Amino acid sequence: MEGVVMQLKEIDAGLEVLEHEKVLTVEAWEAALAGVEGLAFAKNLLFKDKNGKLIHIVALNSTEIDMKVLSLRLGLGKKHPRMAPAEALQTVYQVEAGCLTPLALCRPEAKDVVLLLDERLKEEQKVLFHPLRNDRSVVISTGTLEAYLSKIGRQGTYVDFQKKDFKLGKDNPPDLKPLLDAAQAYELGSDGAGDSKKGGKKAKGGKKGDQGSKGGALPAGDDVHALLREIQESLAPGQQMEAKVSKDLESRLNAFKNIAYTRGYKAARAEIRAHLN
């Protein structure tokens, strides 16, 4: 963390670093800093496409991301990217669960991650990010974030996630596809879709392609308690989810469960699980 903070202070000498309790969700994060005004909270979502390429999305918490539209713009067609396995946090970003942040793109292993930034972030003067740990937050502008990314040899692409009417055509190709084409795939374990770079064909029998990171079947998207147990098991050894966070998370998962029936079962489940990072 110290190295990241030092680099940010070289860009912004007045950098503000906030201390708070460990948080695993954006909602818990907002609650932990409820007394601080004028701050925007950024959610971080990490996806893996069918070829094993990683896509890191940084967006305002209030921004809704239509995975169907995003898949078309990435050139993936109907094969939506799925939540990346927990292994990606450990081996690529080298952070614990709940600590996903664009500031971790300084890791050499993260050089092939495709970074998509919410266009709406530009509207905010102060945005919060975790400096590789989830009991600290740095307050920076998008200008500072851009300068930091440039300093570590990275660049994000701003995307209007509010765009809902994207249609592929001869005169309207997938505008984000070149980003994926230029990236290298990662060798990662199974994710929610059962895909990996060497995953081969999907196994026959049962529901198509649903395998967890440990090789077992994922809980049904509407089984909130089973999903909570899976999340708890994915935490680092010895790390326990606080009761209040667990309750808040259960409430949010129930809300997402209802959304699943209108947005599509698979897309909603991927969004639920990815939103936790």
Whether 101 is in a domain gets the answer yes
193 — pLDDT class (breaks 50, 70, 90): very low
pLDDT of residue 214: 40
pLDDT digits (tens, 9 = 90+) for 137-190: 999 999 999 999 999 999 999 999 988 877 777 778 898 999 999 999 998 865
Distance (Å, rounded) from C-alpha 70 to C-alpha 61?
Answer: 17
Listing DSSP states for 125-175 in one string gives S-EEE-SSSTTEEEEE-HHHHHHHHHHTT---EEE-TT------BTTB--T
**pLDDT tier for residue 94 given thresholds of 50, 70 and 90:** very high
**240 inside domain:** no
Does residue 176 lie within any of the structural domains? Answer: yes
Give mean pLDDT, residues 193-205: 38
Q: Would you call 118 helix, strand, or coil by DSSP?
A: strand
pTM higher than 0.85 for the full model? no
Between 177 and 260, name the one with better pLDDT. 177
Per the domain annotation, does 275 fall within a domain? no
Indicate if the alpha-carbon torsion angle 8, 14, 16, 17 is positive or negative: positive
Q: Which domain covers residue 65, as residue numbers?
A: 2-189
Question: Which residues 6+ apart lie within 8 Å of 52 measured at CB?
Answer: 185, 186, 187, 188, 195, 196, 197
Structure token pair of residue 79? 């094969």
Tokens 């606080």 correspond to 242
Domain presence at residue 204: no
Given this model, what pLDDT does residue 255 score?
62
What mean pLDDT is reported for the chain?
80
pLDDT by residue (tens digit) across 26-78? 999 999 999 888 899 999 999 999 999 999 999 999 999 999 999 999 999 88
d(C-alpha 173, C-alpha 176), whole Å? 9
Q: Is residue 222 part of a domain?
A: no
The β-bridge partners of 19 are 136
Residue 153 located in a structural domain? yes
Q: Into how many domains does the chain fold?
A: 1
Count, residues in the chain: 277
Q: Could you write out the DSSP letters of every residue in 10-67? A: HH-TT-EEEE----SSHHHHHHHTTT--S-EEEEEEEEE-TTS-EEEEEEETT----H
In a domain, 274, yes or no: no
Q: What is the CATH number of the domain that holds 35?
A: 3.90.960.10
